[in-house]
């Protein structure tokens, strides 16, 4: 009899607990469904009910609502409270989230040491994101001595759990030769593992590498394949890259209509490069009839985001009085913005206005400075202009050797003015000065920012 009572009580307790777990799981699924339906207030009530019953996933998801201000006013402190509750109950995703809060200073003062401690707790439970974040701390030297070898150790732990961002991170170390011998073959192999899991940053870097032949043989087909996979996920960088491929005829003849289509997709996602590119398509009338008003619309959206080339195109339109009343002072302001961001065309345009004193006070020293910045990036027109200032001694001590050096560099790029200037100046130099000027030109290495900038843009998604 006693045995029968015992089993009856055991069965009742078990079914009660089991029913409660089913009930909690069902409520959690209901809360998630409400989120998908954008019924955030109802979702908030459901999550709050579960969180107060110590359902750990609900506590973390409730924290996300407070962190992002979904269905409730944004409250980083309350988000942190719920994250900590779940983390202290040894819930790995919450421990990782708490580490992120400390690393990024969300709802709490930045503390890289505390971040690493919470990441380590989560990583001990085989949380791959936490292991990857520890690797990132060592890679960047945040709260620890920078150590690429240790970064690699942690990244490899996460790759053992088949975590795409970790595959990507290992690829980056091999690409840059950080803590390992530089190997593009290994970089591509690791990037490919991440890309095969639809990790967008890896797909874009592979598209870039194959397009320009960066560390690999140029392969337009592979490039388009990876860009298309990123674009298929709605990624603006991949969409913009496809627009560029079609605009410039990679692998086929140029197709401006397809270029416009892909640029528009990316531009509508707010991607500044695509907004600029779409503006240029309309300004030049490449896909259809010229439409400067439409071009201005897209240039302005890119300019608001600090796009250097968009500043230049708008400045040029103000200076020439296209779609705007002519306003050289406004043009100068826009040129300066672009110049300060390293845009060569802006640097030349600003220097030209400063040299002539057009809408700005004449300043030959500053003009020389901007010509030099453009010249050092390899701009032939800036090199020729800088040579002229040195030849004439305008704003700088006269120096015919330096004048010849800059003329030579511009002439070697086919600049007709520079060719004439070099031809005129050559007989005026002694054989020793001519040899020195030619040697300076040979030793010059332009500081091109284009490839570096594009590569850096692809790091944003890391």
Give the separation between CA 320 and CA 331, rounded to whole angstroms. Answer: 9
User: Average pLDDT, stretch 308-322?
Assistant: 97
Does residue 227 carry a pLDDT above 70?
Answer: yes
Q: What is the pLDDT of residues 409-443, one digit of tens each?
A: 999 999 999 999 999 999 999 999 999 999 999 99
For residues 369-406, one letter each, b for 16 or more C-beta atoms within 10 angstroms of the residue's C-beta and e for the rest, the string is bbbbbbbbbbbbbbbbbbbbbbbeeebbeebbbbbbbb
DSSP string, 288-334: SS--HHHHHHHHHHHHHTT-HHHHHHHHHHHHHTSSS---HHHHHHH
Residue 216 neighbours by CB distance under 10 Å: 16
- When pLDDT is cut at 50, 70 and 90, the band that residue 400 belongs to is very high
Q: Which of 257-261, 325-329, 343-347, 453-457 has the lowest mean pLDDT?
A: 453-457
**pLDDT at position 15:** 41
Does residue 450 carry a pLDDT above 70?
Answer: no
What proportion of the chain, given as a percentage, has pLDDT over 90? Answer: 88
**Cα angle 334-340-342, degrees, rounded to a multiple of 5:** 110
User: Average pLDDT, stretch 312-325?
Assistant: 96
Does residue 231 carry a pLDDT above 80?
Answer: yes
**pLDDT at position 288:** 85
Counting the structural domains of the chain, the total is 1
Q: What is the pLDDT of residues 79-96, one digit of tens each?
A: 999 999 999 999 999 999
Q: Residue 112 falls within a domain, yes or no?
A: yes
Residue 419 neighbours by CB distance under 10 Å: 17
The whole-model pTM stands at: 0.84
Give the separation between CA 246 and CA 224, rounded to whole angstroms. Answer: 10
Tokens 């302005």 correspond to what residue? 300
- When pLDDT is cut at 50, 70 and 90, the band that residue 29 belongs to is very high
**pLDDT at position 17:** 43
Q: What is the pLDDT of residues 145-158, one digit of tens each?
A: 999 999 999 999 99
- When pLDDT is cut at 50, 70 and 90, the band that residue 5 belongs to is very low
Q: Residue 185 falls within a domain, yes or no?
A: no
C-alpha 256: how far from its chain's center? 25
- When pLDDT is cut at 50, 70 and 90, the band that residue 11 belongs to is very low
Q: Which of 22-31, 305-314, 376-385 has the lowest mean pLDDT?
A: 22-31
SS3 229: helix
Q: What is the pLDDT of residues 98-122, one digit of tens each?
A: 999 999 999 999 999 999 999 999 9
**pLDDT at position 265:** 98
Q: What is the pLDDT of residues 125-148, one digit of tens each?
A: 999 999 999 999 999 999 999 999
Give the separation between CA 264 and CA 67, rounded to whole angstroms. Answer: 32
What DSSP designation does 241 have?
A: H
**pLDDT at position 251:** 76
Those residues with Cβ within 8 angstroms of residue 330's Cβ, 6 or more apart along the chain or in another chain: 315, 318, 324
Higher pLDDT, 342 or 2: 342
Mean pLDDT, the chain, whole residue set: 92
Q: Residue 26 falls within a domain, yes or no?
A: yes
**pLDDT at position 22:** 54
Does residue 447 carry a pLDDT above 80?
Answer: no
Largest CA distance in the chain: 121
**pLDDT at position 448:** 56
Contact 80, 107 (CB under 8 A): yes
**pLDDT at position 458:** 53
User: Phi and psi dihedrals of 147, rounded to 5?
Assistant: -150, 100
What is the domain range of residue 112?
22-125
Give the separation between CA 137 and CA 130, rounded to whole angstroms. Answer: 11
User: Average pLDDT, stretch 342-352?
Assistant: 97
**Radius of gyration (C-alpha) of the chain in whole angstroms:** 30
Does residue 18 carry a pLDDT above 70?
Answer: no
Does residue 14 carry a pLDDT above 70?
Answer: no
**pLDDT at position 446:** 79
Q: Residue 34 falls within a domain, yes or no?
A: yes
List the CATH number of the domain containing 81. Answer: 1.25.40.10
Q: Residue 244 falls within a domain, yes or no?
A: no
Q: Which of 73-77, 233-237, 240-244, 248-252 has the lowest mean pLDDT?
A: 248-252
Q: Residue 7 falls within a domain, yes or no?
A: no
Does residue 7 carry a pLDDT above 60?
Answer: no
What proportion of the chain, given as a percentage, has pLDDT over 70? Answer: 92
**pLDDT at position 24:** 84
Q: Residue 82 falls within a domain, yes or no?
A: yes
User: Phi and psi dihedrals of 34, rounded to 5?
Assistant: -60, -35
Higher pLDDT, 22 or 306: 306
Among 189, 169, 194, smallest CA distance to 179 is for: 169
**pLDDT at position 23:** 82
Q: What is the pLDDT of residues 360-397, one digit of tens each?
A: 999 999 999 999 999 999 999 999 999 999 999 999 99
Contact 119, 99 (CB under 8 A): yes
Residue 46 neighbours by CB distance under 10 Å: 23
Q: Residue 66 falls within a domain, yes or no?
A: yes
């Amino acid at each position: 009899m006693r045995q029968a009572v015992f089993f009856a009580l055991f069965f009742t307790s078990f079914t009660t607990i089991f029913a409660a777990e089913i009930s909690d799981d069902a409520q959690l699924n209901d809360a998630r469904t409400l989120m998908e339906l954008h019924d955030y207030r109802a979702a908030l009530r459901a999550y709050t009910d579960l969180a107060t019953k110590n359902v750990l996933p609900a506590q973390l998801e409730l924290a996300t609502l407070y962190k992002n201000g979904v269905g409730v006013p944004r409250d980083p402190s309350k988000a942190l409270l719920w994250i900590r509750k779940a983390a202290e109950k040894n819930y790995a995703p919450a421990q990782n989230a708490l580490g992120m809060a400390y690393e990024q200073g969300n709802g709490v003062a930045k503390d890289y040491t505390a971040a690493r401690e919470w990441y380590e707790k989560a990583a001990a439970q085989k949380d791959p994101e936490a292991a990857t974040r520890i690797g990132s701390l060592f890679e960047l030297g945040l709260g620890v001595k920078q150590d690429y070898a240790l970064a690699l150790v942690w990244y490899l732990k996460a790759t053992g759990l088949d975590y795409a961002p970790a595959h990507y991170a290992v690829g980056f170390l091999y690409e840059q030769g950080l803590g390992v011998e530089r190997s593009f073959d290994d970089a591509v192999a690791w990037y490919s593992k991440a890309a095969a899991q639809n990790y967008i940053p890896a797909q874009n870097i592979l598209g870039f590498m194959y397009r320009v032949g960066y560390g690999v043989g140029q392969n337009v087909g592979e490039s388009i394949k990876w860009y298309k996979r990123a674009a298929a996920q709605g990624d603006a960088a991949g969409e913009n890259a496809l627009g560029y491929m079609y605009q410039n005829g990679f692998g086929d003849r140029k197709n401006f209509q397809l270029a416009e289509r892909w640029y528009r997709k990316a531009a509508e996602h707010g991607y500044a490069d695509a907004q600029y590119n779409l503006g240029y398509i309309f300004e030049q009338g490449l896909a259809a009839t010229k439409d400067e008003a439409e071009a201005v619309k897209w240039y302005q959206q890119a300019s608001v985001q600090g796009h250097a080339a968009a500043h230049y195109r708008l400045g040029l339109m103000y200076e020439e009085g296209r779609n705007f009343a002519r306003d050289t002072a406004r043009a100068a302001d826009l040129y300066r913005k672009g110049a300060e961001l390293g845009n060569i065309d802006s640097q030349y345009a600003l220097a030209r206005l400063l040299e002539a004193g057009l809408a700005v006070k004449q300043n030959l020293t500053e003009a020389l400075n901007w010509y030099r910045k453009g010249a050092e990036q390899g701009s032939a027109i800036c090199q020729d202009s800088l040579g002229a200032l040195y030849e004439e001694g305008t704003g700088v001590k006269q120096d015919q050797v330096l004048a010849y050096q800059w003329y030579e560099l511009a002439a070697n790029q086919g600049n007709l003015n520079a060719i004439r200037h070099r031809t005129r100046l050559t007989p005026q130099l002694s054989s020793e000065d001519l040899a020195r000027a030619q040697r300076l030109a040979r030793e010059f290495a332009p500081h091109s920012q284009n490839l570096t900038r594009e590569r850096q843009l692809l790091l944003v998604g890391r």
